[in-house]
Amino acid sequence: MTDINFQTDDTVDITDVVCPITFVKAKAALEELDEGQTLAIKMNDGEPVQNVPRSIKEEGHKILKLLDNGDSTYTLIVEKVGD
């Protein structure tokens, strides 16, 4: 599965903010999308990558993949669910 190339509709970088703004910024980016569209969320290792995916799940969106960028950042691929 790792060599699937994820084409997303939008990207957001949350590496410049800390909890809880990480989730707020990701959530705001998801709100811009239509149902079924995908978002790439770039986040830091540590607390963001431990907690943000779960918060996205609790919001009801569909997580597709977490990619290790190899530079202490990760990219979470999310499909928007709901309006």
Partner 1 sequence: MAVDYATLKKGGFMRQKQKNNFSLRLRVVGGNLTAVQLAKIAEVAEKFGDGHVHLTSRQSVEIPFIKLDDIDNVKNMLAEGGVEPGVCGPRVRTVTACQGAAICPSGCIDTYALAKELDERYFARELPHKFKFGITGCQNNCLKAEENDLGIKGGIKVKWKEDACISCGVCEKACRTNAITISDGKIKLDESKCNFCGRCVKSCPTEAWDTVNGYIVSFGGLFGNSIAKGEAVIPFIDNHDKLMEICDAAIQFFADNANAGERFKFTIDRVGQDKFKEKILEVYND
Among 19, 27, 67, 73, binds partner 1 (CB under 8 A): 67
**Does residue 5 bind partner 1 (CB under 8 A)?**
no
The verdict on 33 binding partner 1 (CB under 8 A) reads no
Scanning 13-21, 23-31, 33-41, 67-75 for contacts with partner 1 by CB under 8 A, the matching segment is 67-75
Cβ contacts of 6 within 8 Å, gap of 6 or more: 38, 40, 64, 65, 67, 77
Contact between 49 and partner 1 by CB under 8 A: the answer reads yes
Cα distances from 4 to residues 1, 7, 64, 66, 67, in angstroms, run 6, 9, 11, 12, 11
Choose, by CB under 8 A, the member of 16, 68, 69, 72 that binds partner 1. Answer: 68
